[in-house]
Every structure is written in structure tokens, then in C-alpha cells.
């Protein structure tokens, strides 16, 4: 997926949010803004949005001398999601279709995305999670296809997205079967995306085989990921790709793959042919 003109204001807003969360020094904030504006003015519009965001956040890290600007927010949302885990595990256990409930919760967790919004109140996040359980925008035909695909797959690659969200991914992974899944996280901190440290913090690394992709993009840019990850990507007979960043970077890749996300911005929604707020379960290539 290429970059659209409507992505540009989001890049600027995201850069300002990130640098202001790290420092009050207006000189540094100005340096970041100037370099980001220069980058955006010269960027290749055919590049994916995460490829541009990757460069922007490298600027922020370099000028603020901060390796993980969102570290506190990531811990905050992991703890928040963990506090809800017992409640939703009980809900899944009592459901007639536990896989559907777990999938809905995994999509609901995708609201915890600080690349799309600079802040998120816990009460708002919990409300979104609750409404997702009964949201009728989920494609039930795609859900049937998904159930068949995960049942028949022997080697599943699960591409994680954000912290907090990965706690709800844990519920879905338990329903699919952790023994046939490899979880993939980012190789380097980027926005509030999950890393190995985060997967360990919420117990995912104890549940399922876990690896990082060797890269610092808020998505999965195969060309810049590690060779080890690219080999695993080729080997897997099914990929589950969480979140907008993974959709933006992999939507044109020919692979047996399901995109699982909440459409949170108009550009993504238009590309998917849906409304903002839709629960998205979309197959890239049916060959199960």
C-alpha cells in the first residue's frame, strides 16, 4: 500500500506527539520538526506509510537520544490489558464459539495504537473492547474461512502489532493452538509496537515460540527484515497479520494470509472498502 496525501498530516502530528512526550526542549522539538518536514517533502509517495514512519522515528530517537520514547506508555497498556485478562478468559470459556470471541477481543485490542492517536484513555479503550464483542461489522463468512484455515494449518506465523493488544492476542493464540504458532514482534522499539521484552512481560514468550523480525518499522517491510524472519515467513503455510501497519506493508504480498485489525483511519478504511471502525478480517490469498 502506497502513501496518500492524507497520510502527511498524520506524519507531522505523530512526530510532534512523540518528541513532546520525550522532551520539553523547544529547540530539539524544532530540529525534529524541521528534519521531518524535509523528509516528507522529498519522500517517495510509493513507499508504504510504515516505511516513512520508520525514518521519522529514527530522526526522533537520534535527536532526543532516546531509544524507546514510548516505553512508559507500553508498560502502562500491557498492565491495563493484563488486568482485564481474567474477565475475558471466563467469557471465552463460557462461549458457544470461543474462537470468535477470542478473535473479536484480538481485534478490539488493536485500538491501542499510539501511532494513530497520541493518547488513549483506559475507560475509552475498555468501552471499545466491550462494544467489539457485539459489533455486527465482523464478516462472518470470513470468520468461517478463518476457522477452517487455522484448523488446517500446521505452521502459523502470527505477526503481532502493539503492546496491550498482545495480551488479547494471547487469548486468540490459545484458541488456535500455541504449538503450531510462532509469534513475531518488532526487532527494535518503534512507537508502542511490541518487542520481545513486551512479549515476555505478558507471558506470551512462555506460551508460544517467539522471535523478532530484526527491524524497526511499525509494520513488516520484508526487504528490511532479518533473513531469519524472511525464511520463516516463506516457510509458514499461514500468516496472521495484526494491525494497520502490517496491512499497509503486506497487503500486496502474495501469501496465504489473514489481516486482523480495526480500521482506525479513513485512508485504511477506503483502501479496504469499509467504514472507519469496522472489524476487519480479510484473507489475502485463499489457498488453504
Cα distance between residue 112 and residue 160, in whole Å: 12
The CATH number of the structural domain formed by 71-283 is 3.40.50.10880
CB atoms within 10 A of CB 282: 18
Question: What is the helix (H) or strand (E) element at residue 78, kind and residue range?
Answer: helix 71-93
Q: Is pTM beyond 0.85 here?
A: yes
- Give the right CATH number for 7-64 from 1.25.40, 1.10.8, 3.40.50, 1.10.10: 1.10.8
- Spell out the domain ranges in the chain: 7-64, 71-283
Per-residue pLDDT of the chain (288 residues), as tens digits, is 999 999 999 999 989 989 998 999 999 999 999 999 999 999 999 999 999 999 999 999 999 999 999 999 899 989 999 999 999 999 999 999 999 999 999 999 888 766 555 556 777 778 888 999 999 999 999 999 999 999 999 999 999 999 999 999 999 999 999 999 999 999 999 999 999 999 999 999 999 999 999 999 999 999 999 999 999 999 999 999 999 999 999 999 999 999 999 999 999 999 999 999 999 999 986 544
In degrees, rounded to 5, the angle at the alpha carbon of residue 269 between the alpha carbons of residues 54 and 9 is 45
Pairing of strands 257-262, 156-159: unpaired
Amino acid at each position: 500500500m502506497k502513501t496518500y496525501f492524507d497520510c502527511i498530516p498524520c506524519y507531522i502530528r505523530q512526530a510532534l506527539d512523540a518528541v513532546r512526550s520525550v522532551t520539553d526542549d523547544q529547540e530539539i522539538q524544532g530540529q525534529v520538526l524541521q528534519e521531518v518536514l524535509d523528509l516528507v517533502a522529498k519522500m517517495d509517495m510509493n513507499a508504504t506509510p510504515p516505511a516513512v514512519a520508520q525514518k521519522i522515528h529514527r530522526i526522533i530517537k537520534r535527536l532526543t537520544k532516546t531509544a524507546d520514547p514510548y516505553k512508559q506508555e507500553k508498560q502502562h497498556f500491557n498492565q491495563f490489558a493484563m488486568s482485564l485478562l481474567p474477565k475475558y478468559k471466563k467469557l471465552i470459556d463460557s462461549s458457544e464459539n470461543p474462537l470468535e470471541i477470542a478473535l473479536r477481543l484480538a481485534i478490539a485490542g488493536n485500538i491501542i495504537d499510539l501511532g494513530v492517536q497520541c493518547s488513549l484513555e483506559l475507560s475509552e479503550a475498555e468501552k471499545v473492547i466491550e462494544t467489539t464483542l457485539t459489533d455486527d461489522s465482523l464478516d462472518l463468512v470470513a470468520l468461517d474461512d478463518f476457522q477452517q484455515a487455522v484448523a488446517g494449518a500446521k505452521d502459523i506465523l502470527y505477526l503481532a502489532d502493539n503492546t496491550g493488544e498482545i495480551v488479547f492476542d494471547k487469548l486468540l493464540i490459545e484458541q488456535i493452538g500455541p504449538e503450531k504458532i510462532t509469534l513475531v514482534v518488532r526487532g527494535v522499539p518503534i512507537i508502542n509496537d511490541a518487542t520481545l521484552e513486551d512479549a515476555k512481560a505478558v507471558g506470551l514468550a512462555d506460551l508460544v515460540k517467539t522471535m523478532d523480525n530484526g527491524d524497526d518499522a511499525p509494520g513488516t517491510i520484508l526487504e528490511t527484515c532479518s533473513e531469519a524472519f524472511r525464511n520463516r515467513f516463506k516457510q509458514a503455510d499461514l500468516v496472521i497479520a495484526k494491525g494497520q501497519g502490517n496491512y499497509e506493508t503486506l497487503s500486496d504480498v502474495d501469501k496465504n494470509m489473514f489481516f486482523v485489525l480495526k480500521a482506525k483511519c479513513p485512508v485504511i478504511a477506503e483502501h479496504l472498502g469499509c467504514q472507519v471502525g469496522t472489524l476487519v478480517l480479510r484473507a489475502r490469498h485463499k489457498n488453504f
